[in-house]
Structure 1
Amino acid sequence: MNTALREPDLLLKDAVLTEAVQLIEQAGPLDDAAAMREAALSRSSPAGRIAHRAALLGQRIGLQAELLRALHWAPWVALALVVVVVMAGLSLAGNVVGGSERRINIMVALVSLLGVHMLTLLLWLAGLVLPLTSFNTSLGWLWMALTARVAGGKRGQAPVLLRAATQLLSGARLVPWAFGFVSHCIWALSFAAVLGAMLFALAFRSYTLSWETTILETGFFVNGVKWLGWAPGMLGFPVPDAATVLAPVANAAEQRAWALWLTGCIVVYGLLPRVFFAIVSALVWQRRKRGLQPDLAQPYYRKLLARFDAMAPARIVDGDPGLVRDQPPVGLKAGDTSDKLILVGFELPQETPWPPAGLPASVAPVLHVDGSAGQRHALLDTIARLRPRTLLMACHAASSPDRGTERLLRELLGHCGECRLWLLSGDEAAHGRWRRWLGDVGLEHVAACDDLEATLRGCA
């Protein structure tokens, strides 16, 4: 996400609010005139202005209040979810060691304790390499969904905040890692509780551990115990040999080996993978969390930036510090001009009516140039041929004067008696900007007014 808001990065809370407002405005723009003005006045980066606008709108429609409630309830929902999963794990452990006959079928116990865990872990790993887009079955997603439900209910803004957070996670490629971190932590706590309950029961009560089958061969169990015990054996857990597996009645030492083998399998294939992947998920989060930013490349944000740019104070562009202005240009002498009064519209917007209504008969001809090189040359040729006594040049006051405007004025002044500017539209600040610019470029003798009659009178 190369074009994300990065100047500086937004806090995650601000980024979620900004993205949530974007999702809400997909159904229709909000009334943001006041928010835009206030955000435009803030001396912050483009990212900060967009976030400021979103914060003001979020305050008005209740987003911030629900986000604060969600942040308040999130740890409590996580704790409740941990309690539920741990209780489920303890229930499984109770089913394994709580039988009245105190007999434990090793393989049934192993599948009961590790089956769902292995299935969900494999699905999570598959989601890292396959183009899977849904992690809605993970404990992490369940935690976020429950938090949104508790914070806002069905009709609040919390579902929008949930979508915004998920969208940010997706943009930063953090969906499996964020949801996975929560899931792995909950599973790790569950296995820790299961191991604690099992070890307590095995330490203070006597159990008979064995395996049973009707259709499988004994070699299956011999090889299974050997293969499953290889990794726990690397950590020092005992692995029953073939004689122990095939023995019809196990002695106390063999029962102890079976119990520790079962414990080692739960540690190696249950607890440790979840702890390992929780650490990996946390590291990936730290590496990619700066990408949790709304993306300026989206049309929605490009439009907002364009609106902020349009609200920025106009400035003089295309300066020419190298232009020599020691001697301001002077017009033709009175005896060298005709009596014509020419009006020229220069780079006016298309919606500007031209020629303007109510012009006196003395103003003729009325010309218009769009600023292209060809039309500029044609204008200069016409003015050089007619040599008017007065040249009125109508300019759009809201536009910024530039080097091209200055050059054209200087060239026109050499072919007429005097040149005056008629500033169309714009406010007093825009008119003042043009007058200051005329003084800055050495054209202070060029009169500039916003009223045609005043311009014709020489702005007296």
Structure 2
Amino acid sequence: MLSSQDQLTELVRTLETQQHVFATDPLLITEKLQSEDGTPIQKLHRRASRIDSNGALAGVLGKIDGRIKGIMIVMSVVWCISGFLGLFALLQTSVVNFFYVLVCLLGFHTIMLLGWLAMTVINQGKQSSNWFASFVSPSYLIRGKDDVTKAAIDLYERQLQHSGMRWYLGRFSHQLWLATLTGMLLAIVFLLIVRQYSFSWESTLLSDQALITLTQILGWLPSLVGFDVPDSTAIAQSRMVTEAMPLSAARQWAWLLVGSLLMYGIVPRAIAWAFCALMFRRKKMRLDIKQPYYQKIISFWQRHVIDADDFKEAPAPVAPKATVSTGKKLVALLEYPVKQDNWWLGGLDADINDNSEIEDFGIVDDRDDMERLTSYLDKHPVQVLLGVHSNALPDRGTLRKLDRIAEHAADGLIIQLLGDGTLAKDSVQTIANQDTRYQQWQTALAARNIGLVDS
């Protein structure tokens, strides 16, 4: 799967393409990151984290990830307990048929391990069927009809369909087998500590010498790491034992049983688990920054790199100069209040005459304000002078408000840019010296042919 940072970055991309409203405006964050150092991946991660300033997106992703891991932990615990109980039930007699118990312990496990190895070789480079994606589909783990939850579920389902998931599933299946074998090992050690066992073997076709040879071959690998192996005398004496055997011989058989479970069961399965973990890390899904969405952002961050010798910058758009009518006017502030009373005088004193009427509407912020303003404009043919604070960002929501006001204003709409409590006289300079925010407003107003008042 993607890393947690990549998941958050991809979730932000999905939601932004769906016009989602974030806790922090993406345009503002993208602008601030332009001057910061870091690789494109690092800056994209930083951008996603800052956009999700309230942690809502990361919370949904963490909830899904936590529940998937919780299912895997619960299944591992259940498998471990089943292995413990299964072997506990198998070793309820005082005389144990060694080879029968060994086949019950490792027979099916060995077949499954060899089958997995064969399928891995045959399906090399191919994607196996993904039953895990349907078994733990995120839609079963979290409920919600909001945009964030739906996008997060879709993101996880896309990850579960990735080709590298075959190694993730292989690692999980080996984890379950390791849990089962560990439960068996715990059961064997516990029972060997609290009970006295005798070990025997039986065979109709095999001779004593054949069983001696088989046992010595079986014990070769455990003996390399220090486990005792029954000698030929102990092996011959263990045929068809029906009563207590010498303690030394019983211990040899017991250590061989434990060593066989470790060396032929747990160790090979642990190696397979480690191999799948390594392959999953190599084939792990990574963020595709070649997508147009990411390339557009990275291109914006790199625009300041300019060859001054042969590059000619295109002139920046300039909003048309406002034409102040002689009729009645309505003045209003967009979203932000200002400390100065009669803030509009600095922009209208040169053009207004004594017979003009000015009505102060106040602040236009929420939907109710917009409804009240448009209702007034539909009944009164006036020119609207809208004061825009320097903190306001010309984002989609703000520009939609401007378009709506311009549509209802019979004598037109003009804009006056305001500073922090005072008129922004010092901000009206040549285009080369204007700051980024002022130029954004120039561009937005020029595109809509809305006049800008010199203040």
TM normalised by structure 1 equals 0.51
Q: CA deviation at 1:72?
A: 3.7
Partner of 1:209, secondary structure, is strand
- Mapping 1:188-227, distance limit 5 Å: 188-214=178-204, 221-227=211-217
Quote the residue 2:225 is aligned against: 235
Distance 1:153 1:191, change over 3 A: farther
Pairing 1:105–2:80 present: no
The equivalent residue for 2:8 is 17
Within 5 A, what are the aligned runs for 1:224-263?
224-247=214-237, 248-250=239-241, 251-252=245-246, 253-263=248-258
**Structural RMSD (CA):** 4.9
Q: Residues 271, 149 of structure 1: CA spacing in aligned structure 2 closer, same or farther, 3 A cutoff?
A: farther
Q: Which amino acid aligns with 2:254?
A: A
Question: C-alpha distance in 2, partners of 1:282/1:136?
Answer: 17
**1:220 shift after superposition:** 5.3
For 1:96, which of 80, 90, 102 is the aligned residue? 90
Moved more, 312-321 or 218-227: 312-321
The reply on whether 1:296 has 2:295 as its aligned counterpart is: no
1:314–1:33 Cα change, 3 Å: farther
Kept after mapping to 2: 8 A contact 1:42/1:49:
no
User: How many residues are matched?
Assistant: 304
Aligned letter for 1:261? Answer: L
Q: Which moved more, 1:151-160 or 1:82-91?
A: 151-160
Q: Distance in 1 between matches of 2:99 and 2:217?
A: 13
Q: Which of 27, 31, 43 pairs up with 1:37?
A: 27
Q: Identify if the C-alpha distance between structure 1 residues 13 and 89 changes in structure 2 by more than 3 Å, giving closer, same or farther.
A: same
- In structure 1, list runs of 5 or more residues that go unmatched: 1-10, 322-346, 348-428, 436-449, 451-460
Counterpart residue identity of residue 289, structure 2: L
Name which of structure 1's ranges 246-255 and 109-118 shifts more when overlaid on structure 2. 246-255
The letter for the 2-side match of 1:30 is Q
Residue 296 of structure 2, aligned match among 288, 306, 330: 306
Q: Does 1:81 align with 2:75?
A: yes
Tell me: CA distance 1:229–1:237, structure 2 relative to 1, closer, same or farther (3 Å): same
CA distance in 1 between counterparts of 2:40 and 2:193 reads 64
Closer, same or farther: CA 317–80 of 1 in aligned 2, 3 Å: same
Task: Write out per-residue CA displacement over residues 167-219 of structure 1, whole angstroms, 9 at most, x where no aligned residue.
Answer: 6783xxx852x555555555444433322221221233233322334566666
Q: Is the 8 A contact 1:226 1:239 kept in 2?
A: yes
C-alpha displacement of 1:50: 4.8
Mapped pair 1:133 → 2:140: no
Q: Distance in 1 between matches of 2:138 and 2:208?
A: 52
Larger radius of gyration: 1
Opposite residue 14 of structure 1, the aligned amino acid is: Q
Please tell me whether the aligned partners of residues 104 and 207 of structure 1 are also in contact (alpha carbons under 8 angstroms): yes
Q: What is the deviation of 1:267? A: 1.5
**Correspondence for 1:352:** none
Once residues 20 and 210 of structure 1 are traced to their aligned partners in structure 2, the CA distance between those partners, rounded to angstroms, is 62
Say whether the 8 Å CA contact 1:59–1:65 is kept in structure 2: no
Write the letter of the residue equivalent to 2:3.
L
Secondary structure of residue in 1 paired with 2:96: strand
**Is the 8 Å Cα contact of residues 168 and 294 (structure 1) preserved in structure 2?**
no
Residue 231 of structure 1 deviates from its aligned partner by: 0.3
Deviations, residues 98-120 of structure 1 (Å, cap 9, x unaligned): 2xx43423223222222343344
Indicate how the Cα distance of structure 1 residues 311 and 241 shifts in structure 2: closer, same or farther if over 3 A, else same. Answer: closer
Query: Residue type of the partner of 2:431?
Result: G
Identity, in percent, stands at 24
1:24-423 alignment runs, 5 A limit? 29-31=17-19, 37-43=27-33, 46-47=40-41, 50-51=44-45, 64-74=58-68, 76-98=70-92, 101-126=93-118, 129=121, 130-134=124-128, 136=130, 146=136, 148=138, 151-152=141-142, 157=150, 159-166=153-160, 170=164, 176=167, 178-179=168-169, 181-214=171-204, 221-247=211-237, 248-250=239-241, 251-252=245-246, 253-276=248-271, 293-297=286-290, 301-306=291-296, 309=299, 317-319=307-309
Write the distance in 2 (CA, Å) between the matches of 1:136 and 1:220: 45
Distance in 2 (CA, whole Å) between partners of 1:145 and 1:153 is 16
Q: Quick one: distance in 1 between partners of 2:8 and 2:161?
A: 12
Q: TM-score, normalised by structure 2?
A: 0.51
Distance 2:144 2:20 in 1: 26
Partner of 2:431: 432
Residues 237, 261 of structure 1: 8 Å contact kept = yes
Letter in 1 for 2:295: L
Work out whether residues 188 and 275 of structure 1, in 8 Å CA contact, stay in contact via their aligned partners in 2.
yes
Note the residue ranges of structure 2 that are not aligned, 5 or more in a row.
Answer: 315-427, 435-445, 447-455
Letter in 2 for 1:96: L
Is 1:93–1:194's contact at 8 Å kept on the other side of the alignment?
Answer: yes
8 A Cα contact 1:40 1:308, kept in partner: no
Distance 1:16 1:52 in 2: 13
Separation in 1 of the partners of 2:190 and 2:5?
A: 48
- Is the Cα–Cα contact under 8 Å of residues 174 and 269 in structure 2 kept in the other structure? yes
